[in-house]
């Protein structure tokens, strides 16, 4: 069978393409921006890529067109597919109906931590010898790939609440029909498609409605929003984590379940958010049959995900990190995690407000509080329609905003001194700023 994927270079659709190829399908695809690293990853798997949305691609005559949510009405290829009445389906629906139908799906949903928690869960199952399939919106260091079919029955998927396609405005995760579902947390995000938090809670309840009675929901007990979701109706056993009942972790990283000791977490990851992620992953893995002790042993060898507090280099005593944080809550927890690790050393926080929600300015007033624990704050304002300087004014002189990336790099390196930690946060490539910082730092004489 031949599928042609529209929007193939997105993280999710690229993962779908890889899975389809592994499953024996002929896979071709197109996108507006066909460039590395996704293009080279796909081409290395024998997937033919086409630049653009030309209607001449219909000559490929695939059995079905699989449509990503980057595609909208007015797209010339999509318009011709509609005009000719050719078969098409969304990426999430095709994945669910074709590759996940007979799998035990473990879905990880939440505003934050989906990628890390999915990676932890997949690694625990792998460590236990279960060879799970997975589709993750990042590259887990323990695997070096973001998607694989694995052996039946288990399949871990990062369950995104973003919409499915231009013709299906439900969240992607509604399609997956998990037997095990993690609800990691729930805050307002994706202001480009959701009017308010209540609208997202409705989508999460749609997910809850799909989990069978013999399944399990693992839910963050600290989140009022998730309690509201479950109070709307739940037909599945629920295990909570992080509250007074269910799964807990103390200051010594000792794990307990309903008050009974389960062992201790021994690893190098930083931050309270990762401790919560670990509880959720251990609970979900236990539902799949992995004893907690084995899960803890796996997490001791967990190597996190690329772009999650990833050290990009140390030059002249200055360490540069890359992190995906782009929501104020994620920014705050990332800064707090680094502060816990390095103590009194200086943190130079570098932020690119790049997500759709951040570009709209919806979260701008929460930024100063999220960055308060940094010693200096540098913000790239290129392309923003709101005044980042005014938004960060509560931080006073420790904040600097620049619209020119090279000027920003010069300002950061001029402020840096030996022993500092430069924490770069963006959900994009940020113009290669990490390499620019390291190169510039290498040419400077550091003060201490």
pLDDT tops 90 at residue 148: yes
For 102-136, what is each residue's pLDDT tens digit? 999 999 999 888 999 999 999 999 999 999 999 99
Residue 232 to residues 7, 48, 196, 244: CA-CA distances in angstroms?
A: 35, 46, 17, 22
Report the pLDDT value the prediction gives residue 179, as an integer from 0 to 100: 98
Print burial letters for 34-62: b (CB count within 10 Å at least 16), e (below 16): beeebbebbeeeebebbeebeeebeeeeb
pLDDT confidence tier of residue 141, bands split at 50, 70 and 90: confident
Average pLDDT of the chain, as a whole number: 90
CA–CA distance, 421 with 1 (Å, rounded to integer): 51
- Token code pair at residue 371: 């960055």
User: Averaged over 381-389, what is the pLDDT?
Assistant: 83
CA–CA distance, 234 with 98 (Å, rounded to integer): 27
pLDDT tops 80 at residue 438: yes
Report the pLDDT value the prediction gives residue 217, as an integer from 0 to 100: 98
Give the count of alpha carbons within 13 A of 90, CB side only: 22
User: Averaged over 152-175, what is the pLDDT?
Assistant: 95
356 within 8 A of 191, measured Cβ to Cβ: yes
Report the pLDDT value the prediction gives residue 219, as an integer from 0 to 100: 97
User: Averaged over 384-407, what is the pLDDT?
Assistant: 88
For 213-262, what is each residue's pLDDT tens digit? 999 999 999 999 999 999 999 999 999 999 888 999 998 889 999 999 99
Q: What is the DSSP string of 104-140?
A: EEEEEESSS-HHHHHHHHHHHHHHTT---EEE-SS-B
Least confident of 66-80, 83-97, 271-285, 330-344: 330-344
189 within 8 A of 165, measured Cβ to Cβ: no
Q: Residue 26: beta bridge partners?
A: 2
For 38-74, what is each residue's pLDDT tens digit? 777 788 889 999 999 999 999 999 999 999 999 999 9
Residue 259 to residues 162, 273, 408: CA-CA distances in angstroms?
A: 36, 21, 50
User: Averaged over 17-21, what is the pLDDT?
Assistant: 96
**Structure-model confidence comparison of residues 154 and 391, the more confident one:** 154
Least confident of 247-256, 322-331, 401-410: 322-331
CA–CA distance, 393 with 328 (Å, rounded to integer): 16
In 1-96, which ranges are E strands? 2-6, 26-31, 48-51, 64-67, 88-90
Q: Residue 339: beta bridge partners?
A: none
The domains located in the chain, with CATH, are: 2-93 (3.40.50.720), 100-299 (3.40.1190.10), 310-442 (3.90.190.20)
Residue in the block written with tokens 């980057």: 70
Question: Three-class SS of residue 210?
Answer: helix
User: CA angle, corner 441, sides to 331 and 426, nearest 5?
Assistant: 25
pLDDT tops 60 at residue 347: yes
Least confident of 197-201, 307-311, 344-348, 381-385: 307-311
Report the pLDDT value the prediction gives residue 205, as an integer from 0 to 100: 97
pLDDT confidence tier of residue 445, bands split at 50, 70 and 90: low
162 within 8 A of 199, measured Cβ to Cβ: no
Residues contacting residue 384 through CB under 8 Å, at least 6 positions apart: 353, 359, 361
pLDDT confidence tier of residue 385, bands split at 50, 70 and 90: confident
**Structure-model confidence comparison of residues 364 and 190, the more confident one:** 364
For 256-308, what is each residue's pLDDT tens digit? 999 999 999 998 777 788 899 999 999 999 999 999 999 999 999 998 776 67
User: CA angle, corner 193, sides to 192 and 199, nearest 5?
Assistant: 130
- φ/ψ of residue 269, rounded to 5: -70, 150
User: Averaged over 73-101, what is the pLDDT?
Assistant: 97
Percent pLDDT > 90 in the chain is 63
Report the pLDDT value the prediction gives residue 111, as an integer from 0 to 100: 87
Give the CA radius of gyration of the chain: 22
């Amino acid at each position: 069978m031949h599928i042609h994927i529209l929007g193939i270079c997105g993280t999710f659709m690229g993962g779908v393409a890889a899975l389809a190829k592994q499953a024996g399908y002929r896979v071709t695809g197109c996108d507006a921006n066909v460039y590395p690293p996704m293009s080279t990853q796909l081409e290395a798997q024998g997937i033919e890529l086409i630049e653009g949305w030309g209607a001449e691609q219909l000559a490929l005559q695939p059995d079905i067109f699989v449509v990503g949510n980057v595609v909208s009405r007015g797209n010339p290829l999509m318009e011709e597919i509609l005009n000719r009445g050719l078969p098409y389906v969304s990426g999430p629906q095709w994945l669910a109906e074709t590759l996940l139908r007979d799998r035990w799906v473990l879905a990880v949903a939440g505003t934050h931590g989906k990628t890390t928690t999915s990676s932890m869960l997949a690694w625990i199952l792998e460590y236990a010898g279960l060879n799970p399939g997975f589709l993750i919106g990042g590259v887990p260091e323990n695997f070096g790939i973001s998607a694989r079919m694995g052996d039946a029955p288990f399949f871990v998927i990062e369950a995104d609440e973003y919409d499915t396609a231009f013709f299906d405005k439900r969240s992607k995760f509604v399609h997956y029909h998990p037997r095990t579902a993690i609800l990691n947390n729930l805050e307002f995000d994706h202001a480009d498609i959701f009017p308010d938090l209540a609208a997202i809670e409705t989508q999460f309840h749609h997910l809850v409605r799909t989990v069978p009675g013999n399944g399990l929901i693992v839910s963050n007990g600290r989140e009022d929003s998730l309690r509201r979701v479950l109070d709307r109706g739940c037909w599945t056993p629920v295990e909570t984590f992080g509250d007074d009942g269910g799964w807990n972790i103390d200051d010594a990283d000792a794990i307990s379940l309903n008050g009974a000791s389960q062992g201790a977490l021994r690893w190098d990851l930083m931050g309270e958010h990762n401790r919560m992620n670990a509880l959720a992953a251990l609970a979900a893995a236990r539902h799949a049959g992995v004893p907690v002790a084995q899960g803890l042993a796996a997490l001791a060898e967990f190597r996190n995900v690329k772009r999650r507090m990833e050290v990009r280099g140390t030059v002249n005593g200055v360490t540069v990190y890359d992190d995906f944080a782009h929501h104020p809550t994620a920014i705050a927890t990332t800064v707090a995690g680094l502060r816990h690790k390095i103590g009194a050393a200086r943190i130079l926080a570098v932020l690119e407000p790049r997500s759709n929600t951040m570009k709209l300015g919806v979260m701008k007033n929460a930024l100063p509080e999220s960055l308060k624990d940094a010693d200096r704050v540098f913000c790239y304002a290129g392309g923003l329609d709101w005044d980042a300087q005014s938004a960060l004014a509560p931080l006073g002189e420790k904040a600097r905003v620049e619209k020119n990336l090279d000027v920003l790099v010069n300002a950061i390196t001029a402020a840096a001194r030996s022993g500092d930690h430069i924490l770069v946060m963006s959900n994009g490539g940020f113009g290669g700023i990490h390499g620019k910082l390291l190169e510039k730092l290498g040419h400077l004489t550091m003060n201490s």
